[in-house]
């Protein structure tokens, strides 16, 4: 009868997925996610809070409760894994950002964005690494080698795109959003190149040849990552247009778009490219072509599904970071010398502030020099906001710090423990303090944002609202998503008209001609999908509109 018993036990274990404590954790985590959504909704009217801070605070509170219940043993439910973060949570967030980004705004500021993301990150990284080398030697924190200092530079130079999405609003401040968020995306490509360079070149003697190689490497990586994203996006558009899935099933279309988007990210990782850059451009191409080839139901579904997945992933990250911050293991070494830890954290925060200021203001000045139209220049007030809004360090910094300072082989436990706790402190302080102050700062510096476009802001208090009635939503997105669109038919406020009279207009016109003549007939897009009687595809874009 023991066989029966052992079978029964094993069956029960299997039903409880081999480990009942993991079920408990998952239940608690899902319940906390729900709590974050409900509380975040209730606090939406509050001008200081945002969802990420709510999640972070709930995470810290839960961590305290778990710490008390477990008798000071552990404070987190799930083990923080880089795989979880880079493979499952980050791609939907970046893809959705590309899918919903105002493409015109993004491409008009393209040069400034690349300047900030590539040159700016290098400047910031150098300043932080040098500053840390200088100051940490005077503190008693154990031995750190050159690699560790470079790593500190990289960890704290990375602008967190996820945080940007939370504090800046695309509808209210489109210029600032596109600059800071775009910088975060390009920054990822920079860091891949940076570490390739560290691996391949001897950085102790930098000469012009190495600098050229470095620039060449960056351009190669940027181009290939972008092309891969564009290619997968176009492929999805072509498949859906040719096979015309809409005739049969919305589910297939949605599944195809989701899987293709994910494939683009994974392919980039496969070829050691920048997955973030790839999936971002894949999102842009999909919203310009693929999205117009599917049925009305598929459009609504994909738009909201991508947004929801991104939303849940963001909350998940902040909740986790908050919960993990209290992990007792890391604080054990620090408790002996709390002064050192505070000093290290303060130095790092100061370096982050200085490092970012050191490139935002000079590069903005350079960018303004190239612009003739005064309306397009980045004002000092906007520069301050760009500087401030990119200060937050989030889950990307955490993941990098864990990778550098907890991996096997590193035996200087004291220095590592201090670096981990300092990273947590910087992440918490920057997200909560800087994050809380961003919204009021924007309201203080830009009481009437001058760059508001004509995009319908149905209700300024609910920026993420999609509540506009169905067909209107369709038309809205059409206008928004039409990169080569026909916005000049529609009356626009002054700032946009001014924008269109600048030289970028001619580039834009050539692109539109090319798009209409070659791209759209092949890959579909607004108004280029064959009309099928009874098909809802044509509803939000009647042919009369583009004739």
For position 466 contacting a copy of itself by CB under 8 A, the verdict is yes
For the CA atoms of the chain, what is the radius of gyration? 25
Residue span 153-192 as binding mask against a copy of itself, x where in contact by CB under 8 A, dash where not:
-x-------------------------------------x
Residues 6+ apart with CB under 8 A from 111: 367, 370
For position 30 contacting a copy of itself by CB under 8 A, the verdict is yes
Range 92-121, binding a copy of itself (CB under 8 A): none
Range 39-58, binding a copy of itself (CB under 8 A): 40-42, 44
For position 287 contacting a copy of itself by CB under 8 A, the verdict is no
Residue 507 Cβ vs a copy of itself, minimum distance, rounded to whole Å: 33
For position 16 contacting a copy of itself by CB under 8 A, the verdict is yes
Task: Tell me the C-alpha distance between 157 and 194, whole Å.
Answer: 12
Residue 40 Cβ vs a copy of itself, minimum distance, rounded to whole Å: 8
Enter the DSSP assignment of 519: I
DSSP string for residues in 199-252: HHS-TTS--HHHHHHHHHHHHHHHHHHHHHHHHHHHHHHHHHHHHTGGGT-HHH
Longest dimension (CA), the chain: 88
In this chain, which stretch among 207-215, 449-457, 496-504, 528-536 interacts with a copy of itself, using CB under 8 A? 528-536
* Collapsed DSSP state (helix, strand, coil) of residue 374: coil
For position 1 contacting a copy of itself by CB under 8 A, the verdict is yes
For position 146 contacting a copy of itself by CB under 8 A, the verdict is yes
Among 48, 68, 82, 342, binds a copy of itself (CB under 8 A): 82
Phi, psi of 374 (to 5 degrees): -65, -25
The first and second tokens of residue 184, run together, are 């975060």
By the 8 A CB rule, do 478 and 540 touch?
Answer: yes
- Would you call 477 exposed, middle or buried from its count of C-beta atoms within 10 A (0-12, 13-18, 19+)? buried
Residue 14 Cβ vs a copy of itself, minimum distance, rounded to whole Å: 5
The first and second tokens of residue 254, run together, are 């949605």
For position 21 contacting a copy of itself by CB under 8 A, the verdict is no
Residue 224 Cβ vs a copy of itself, minimum distance, rounded to whole Å: 15
Among 148, 183, 382, 515, binds a copy of itself (CB under 8 A): 148
For position 83 contacting a copy of itself by CB under 8 A, the verdict is yes
Among 66, 67, 234, 254, binds a copy of itself (CB under 8 A): 254
Q: Which is nearer to a copy of itself, 81 or 545 (CB)?
A: 81
Q: Which is nearer to a copy of itself, 33 or 357 (CB)?
A: 33
User: What HEC string does 212-223 produce?
Assistant: HHHHHHHHHHHH
Range 263-282, binding a copy of itself (CB under 8 A): 263, 266-267, 269-270, 272, 275
By the 8 A CB rule, do 322 and 65 touch?
Answer: no
Q: Which is nearer to a copy of itself, 72 or 469 (CB)?
A: 469
Residue 42 Cβ vs a copy of itself, minimum distance, rounded to whole Å: 7
Q: Which is nearer to a copy of itself, 311 or 434 (CB)?
A: 311
Place of tokens 């609003």: 169
Task: Tell me the C-alpha distance between 385 and 383, whole Å.
Answer: 5
Cα–Cα distances in angstroms (integers) from residue 295 to residues 57, 240, 286, 305, 515, in the given order: 41, 11, 14, 15, 22
By the 8 A CB rule, do 397 and 155 touch?
Answer: yes
For position 295 contacting a copy of itself by CB under 8 A, the verdict is yes
Residues 6+ apart with CB under 8 A from 341: 334, 418, 421, 422, 425
Phi, psi of 262 (to 5 degrees): -70, -40
In this chain, which stretch among 98-106, 175-183, 462-470, 514-522 interacts with a copy of itself, using CB under 8 A? 462-470
Among 74, 126, 133, 196, binds a copy of itself (CB under 8 A): 196
Among 65, 73, 111, 195, binds a copy of itself (CB under 8 A): 195
Cα–Cα distances in angstroms (integers) from residue 168 to residues 177, 180, 375, 462, in the given order: 6, 9, 21, 13
Among 61, 78, 300, 353, binds a copy of itself (CB under 8 A): 300
CA torsion sign for 525, 528, 530, 534 is: positive
Range 200-229, binding a copy of itself (CB under 8 A): 202-204
Among 74, 126, 133, 305, binds a copy of itself (CB under 8 A): 305
Q: Which is nearer to a copy of itself, 205 or 448 (CB)?
A: 205
Q: Which is nearer to a copy of itself, 107 or 156 (CB)?
A: 156
For position 485 contacting a copy of itself by CB under 8 A, the verdict is no
Among 68, 69, 215, 259, binds a copy of itself (CB under 8 A): 259
By the 8 A CB rule, do 168 and 443 touch?
Answer: no
For position 65 contacting a copy of itself by CB under 8 A, the verdict is no
For position 255 contacting a copy of itself by CB under 8 A, the verdict is yes
Q: Helix 275-285 crosses helix 174-200 at what angle (to 10 degrees)?
A: 140
For position 473 contacting a copy of itself by CB under 8 A, the verdict is yes
For position 11 contacting a copy of itself by CB under 8 A, the verdict is yes
Range 498-527, binding a copy of itself (CB under 8 A): none
**Closest alpha carbon to 40 in 319, 303, 309, 301:** 319
**Closest alpha carbon to 540 in 451, 449, 478:** 478
For position 404 contacting a copy of itself by CB under 8 A, the verdict is yes
Q: Which is nearer to a copy of itself, 151 or 529 (CB)?
A: 151
């Amino acid at each position: 009868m023991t066989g029966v018993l052992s079978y029964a036990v094993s069956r029960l274990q299997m039903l409880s997925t081999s480990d009942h404590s993991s079920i408990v954790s998952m239940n608690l985590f899902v319940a906390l996610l729900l709590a974050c959504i409900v509380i975040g909704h209730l606090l939406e009217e509050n001008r200081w809070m945002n969802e990420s801070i709510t999640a972070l605070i709930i995470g810290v509170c839960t961590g305290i409760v778990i710490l008390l219940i477990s008798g000071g043993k552990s404070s987190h439910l799930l083990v923080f894994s880089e795989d979880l973060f880079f493979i499952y949570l980050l791609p939907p967030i970046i893809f959705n950002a590309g899918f919903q980004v105002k493409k015109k705004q993004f491409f008009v500021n393209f040069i400034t964005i690349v300047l900030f993301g590539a040159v700016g990150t290098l400047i910031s990284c150098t300043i932080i690494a040098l500053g840390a080398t200088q100051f940490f030697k005077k503190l008693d924190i154990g031995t750190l080698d050159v690699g560790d200092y470079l790593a500190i530079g990289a960890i704290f130079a990375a602008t967190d795109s996820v945080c940007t999405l939370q504090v800046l609003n695309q509808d209210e401040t489109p210029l600032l959003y596109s600059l800071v968020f775009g910088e975060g995306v390009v920054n990822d490509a920079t860091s891949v190149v940076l570490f390739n360079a560290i691996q391949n070149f001897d950085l102790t003697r930098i000469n012009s040849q190495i600098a050229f190689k470095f620039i060449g490497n960056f351009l190669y990586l940027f181009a290939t990552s972008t092309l891969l994203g564009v290619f997968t996006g176009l492929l999805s558009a072509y498949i859906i247009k040719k096979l015309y899935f809409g005739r049969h099933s919305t589910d297939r279309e949605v599944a195809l778009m989701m899987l293709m988007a994910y494939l683009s990210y994974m392919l980039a990782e496969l070829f050691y490219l920048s997955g973030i850059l790839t999936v971002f451009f894949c999102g842009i191409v999909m919203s310009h072509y693929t999205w117009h080839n599917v049925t009305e139901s598929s459009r609504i579904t994909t738009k909201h599904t991508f947004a929801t997945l991104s939303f849940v992933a963001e909350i998940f990250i902040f909740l986790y970071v908050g919960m993990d911050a209290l992990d007792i293991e890391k604080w054990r070494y620090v408790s002996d010398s709390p002064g050192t830890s505070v000093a290290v954290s303060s130095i790092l925060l100061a370096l982050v502030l200085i490092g970012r200021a050191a490139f935002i203001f000079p590069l903005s000045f350079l960018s303004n020099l190239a612009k003739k139209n005064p309306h397009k220049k980045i004002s000092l007030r906007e520069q301050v906001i760009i500087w401030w809004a990119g200060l937050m360090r989030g889950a990307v910094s955490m993941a990098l710090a864990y990778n550098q300072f907890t991996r096997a082989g590193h035996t200087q436990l004291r220095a590592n423990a201090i670096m981990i706790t300092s990273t947590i402190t910087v992440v918490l302080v920057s997200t909560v303090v800087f994050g809380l102050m961003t919204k009021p700062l924007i309201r203080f510096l830009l009481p009437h944002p001058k760059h508001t476009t004509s995009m319908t802001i149905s209700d300024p208090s609910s920026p993420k609202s999609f509540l506009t009635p169905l067909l209107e939503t369709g038309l809205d997105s059409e206008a928004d998503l039409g990169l080569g669109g026909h916005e000049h038919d529609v009356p626009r406020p002054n700032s946009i008209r001014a924008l269109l009279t600048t030289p970028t207009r001619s580039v834009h016109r050539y692109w539109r001609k090319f798009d209409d003549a070659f791209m759209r007939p092949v890959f579909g897009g607004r108004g280029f999908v064959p009309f099928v009687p009874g098909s809802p595809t044509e509803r939000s874009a009647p042919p009369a509109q583009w004739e």
